């Protein structure tokens, strides 16, 4: 890959990420590659204004932080068709990031120049917040996109009452979930909140949505995996609180009132993630991050 301009986004509350961004800038400068460093707490409008004023769009974005930093960038830059290389600087699990050794031993630039990488196109979800009964041209009041998941929880801050949420799949009413909330996840997001809520791990190459209730009050309320092309409608049920809070990739979005509903469909454009061929495989990452040990009795066997 021939690089002319690189956007460097670093975790805003991390001094380590700040120093890493300076180091990255120095490595690129030594190769006569221009770069622009910005903190991760930028507003989406700011980055859109910056990119629209550029004569030359960045060839790639290098994200220095954890999965949370990467998700913020993925949602802000997802519609600009900029491949993102995420390097784990101070993150926790880091399912979406490369190991930091690739940065500090300077091998990342050689890998990029020699094209020793794969670009994974990860599907995103689009959530349209609509007004019930409105005309088609006026029904959508807000739209969000997510790489990992959308989820719905109580609007209350101090207490956590149960919510009752109606769900339709492809124009068919499927269930009313009563519990702490509901997660709609991509395959990429299956190792995030959905996994913590007992959902299945789905390989990111599988085009699917995972619908996963959070602490349901019925044992019959189970996670379900549906085609990525499905249309999912979420409505708060009036006989419960009548309002629910919409979250996206760990960030609050807005309150869904009883006169609203959410339409969740496949995203407009995928997120392009740069993955080095030298990096661990998906299954090796699961083994390492989730501390899978296998059958310990076999390891302790003397035969």
Tell me the pLDDT tens digit for each residue of 159-211.
Answer: 767 889 999 999 999 999 999 999 999 999 999 999 999 999 999 999 999 99
Domains contained in the chain, number: 2
Residue 14 sits in the same domain as residue 52: yes
Q: φ, ψ for residue 77 (rounded to 5)?
A: -105, 0
Residue 12 sits in the same domain as residue 79: yes
pLDDT digits (tens, 9 = 90+) for 19-70: 999 999 999 999 999 999 999 887 767 777 777 777 778 999 999 999 999 9
Angle at which helices 67-77 and 44-52 pack, to 10 degrees? 50
User: According to the model, what pLDDT value does residue 158 have?
Assistant: 67
The CATH number for 191's domain is 2.60.200.30
Identify the active-site residue in 67, 101, 170, 291: 67
Q: Is 158 a catalytic residue?
A: no
Residue 161 sits in the same domain as residue 260: yes
Q: What residue numbers does the annotated binding site cover?
A: 67-68, 148-149, 178, 180
Computed over every residue of the chain, the mean pLDDT equals: 89
Would you say 25 and 72 are in contact if contact means Cβ atoms under 8 Å apart? no
The CATH number for 64's domain is 3.40.50.10330
Residue 298 belongs to a domain: no
Residue 221 belongs to a domain: yes
Residue 232 belongs to a domain: yes
Residue 95 sits in the same domain as residue 173: no
Residue 220 sits in the same domain as residue 106: no
Residue 252 belongs to a domain: yes
Residue 147 sits in the same domain as residue 199: yes
> Could you list the residue range(s) of the whole structural domain that residue 150 is in?
125-266
Q: What residue numbers does the annotated binding site for NAD(+) cover?
A: 67-68, 148-149, 178, 180
């Amino acid at each position: 890959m021939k690089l002319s301009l690189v956007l460097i986004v670093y975790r805003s509350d991390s001094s380590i990420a700040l120093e890493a961004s300076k180091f990255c800038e120095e490595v690129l400068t030594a190769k006569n590659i221009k770069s622009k460093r910005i903190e991760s707490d930028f507003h989406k409008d700011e980055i859109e204004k910056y990119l629209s004023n550029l004569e030359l769009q960045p060839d790639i974005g290098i994200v220095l932080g954890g999965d949370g930093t990467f998700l913020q960038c993925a949602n802000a830059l997802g519609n600009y068709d900029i491949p993102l290389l995420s390097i784990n600087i101070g993150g926790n699990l880091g399912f979406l990031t490369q190991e930091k050794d690739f940065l500090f031993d300077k091998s990342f630039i050689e890998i990029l120049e020699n094209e020793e990488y794969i670009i994974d196109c990860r599907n995103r979800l689009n959530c349209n917040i609509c007004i019930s009964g409105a005309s088609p041209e006026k029904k959508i009041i807000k739209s969000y996109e997510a790489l990992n998941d959308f989820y719905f929880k109580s609007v209350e801050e101090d207490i956590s009452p149960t919510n009752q949420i109606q769900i339709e799949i492809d124009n068919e009413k499927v269930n009313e979930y009563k519990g702490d909330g509901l997660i709609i996840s991509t395959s990429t997001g299956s190792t995030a909140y959905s996994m913590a809520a007992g959902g299945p791990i789905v390989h990111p190459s599988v085009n699917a949505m995972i619908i996963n209730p959070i602490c349901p009050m019925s044992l019959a309320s189970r996670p379900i995996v549906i085609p990525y092309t499905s249309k999912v409608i979420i409505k708060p049920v009036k006989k419960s609180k009548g309002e629910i809070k919409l979250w996206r990739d760990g960030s609050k979005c807005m309150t869904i009132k009883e006169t609203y509903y959410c339409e969740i469909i496949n995203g407009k454009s995928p997120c392009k993630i740069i993955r080095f061929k030298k990096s661990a495989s998906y299954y090796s990452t699961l083994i390492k991050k989730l501390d899978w040990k296998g059958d310990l009795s076999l390891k302790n066997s003397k035969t």
